[in-house]
Amino acid sequence: MKEGKRYRNLVWDSNRWEGFEFRPGDIIISTPPKSGTTWTQMLCAMLIFDAIHFPDIMDNLSPWLDMNTRSRDEIFDLLAAQKHRRFIKTHTPLDGLPRAPEVTYVIVGRDPRDVAISMEHHFANMDFDSLIATRGAAVGNDDLGDFPPPPPPSEDPVERMRQFVESEAAITTFDSVVGHLRDGWDARDQPNVALFHYRDYQHDLPEELRRLASVLGIDLDEKRAAVFADAAGLSSMRERAEELGPDMGRSHWLDTKRFFRSGGRGEWADRFTDVLAKRYGERLEEYAAGDQDFVDWIHEGRRSGGVDLPR
């Protein structure tokens, strides 16, 4: 088992993985925030339980191990008690996770520009006072000085996008999103790593479900895939927000259903001046290093991007 580098901010700390005991068959869902994490948890849950309704809330079935709103002991005990095949959420990239050959790592990407827009709405729906209070009860807040608050968001949406592209102080930045995806991309040939994409889910969810089932060694026919895909639609999941969303029982959201926002693609387009578009391209090239397949995949997924993935 390889120990990775540390990723730490106000909300999560990858060091919480230290000492965790994997089981053969464990599934790690590793995504940048707002990139289809809860969607992928839902897909995995349906495949594992062969059902659209589950024995517990998603927060308990598939906990976010690194998040600082529950103690590490609580999460470890919760996972140790599980009898079903475990599927664990994380926003830590592969190079920050312990690695085990008997574990499947599912990496999910999304256009970074769409992530930036979605993250703005995400933060606008958060009750930060509640989050900090819960964090304090779970892990203590003596280290809050390590995380100075970011500057207030600009009223200018173009400036907010510029700040994201330039990776100014924030929990989710251009570097954290694109670096996470580049790390997964570089590991795509490894037999226990599989890449998925938000755009591919939007394009043909039944087929992506069948692909995920194949990766996990689970049989899924076309008829069952269609049933599952319908249950994993945005409106269906929004109606089950209290059951499926993260941290719903800890009052961190102003409106639980708003977590499942109907965000489209390309909402960022009117924020990109010629200057900012050029700068975005320059920053992306820092990670792509001439690899056009990587650029096509993070923007469009494997289908629309025409990118061949190992599986």
In order of 60, 111, 217, 298, the CA distances from 243 in angstroms are: 10, 27, 26, 30
> In 3-state terms, the chain is what percent helix, strand and coil (to 5)?
50, 10, 40
Nearest to 35 by CA among 200, 183, 218, 159: 200
Token pair of 183 as six digits: 């790390």
DSSP 270: G
91 is catalytic: yes
CA gap 155, 138 in Å, rounded:
34
DSSP conformation letters of 159-225: HHHHHHHTT-SSSS-HHHHHHHHHHHHHTTTSTTEEEEEHHHHHH-HHHHHHHHHHHHT----HHHH
Tokens 């490894």, located at residue: 190
Token pair of 276 as six digits: 């900012």
> Catalytic one among 84, 91, 121, 197?
91
* Residues facing residue 87 across a β-bridge: 27
**Which residues form the catalytic set?**
91
